[in-house]
Amino acid sequence: MVSNGELTVVYESGVLRPEHDLDLPEQTRLVIAIRRVETTPEDEAKAKTLLHEIRRKGEVRLGSWRPTREEMHERG
């Protein structure tokens, strides 16, 4: 997925591989600026812990949009 003009890729076997499918026609030519992203195992562990906490609280809904209970039973 291309977002805000940025695309995350992984370098493997001499090839830059996008982390997500691109919604582009085959043979599309692009100009890409490269900036290295550094992460540590500690950073990744913190991110996973935060994600699990957000999901536990129900702050992330996977799939399409669905109204919350409050939105479904909004009384005005």
Average pLDDT for consecutive 10-residue bins of the chain (76 residues)?
70 88 87 82 89 80 73 72
Q: How far apart are CA 17 and CA 10, in angstroms?
A: 5
Q: What is the pLDDT of residue 76?
A: 55
By three-state DSSP, how is residue 18 classified?
strand
The residue type of 10 is V
Q: What is the pLDDT of residue 35?
A: 81
Q: What is the pLDDT of residue 57?
A: 83
Q: What is the pLDDT of residue 54?
A: 83
Q: How far apart are CA 20 and CA 1, in angstroms?
A: 5
Share in percent of the chain as helix, strand, coil (round to 5): 25, 15, 60
pTM listed for this prediction:
0.39
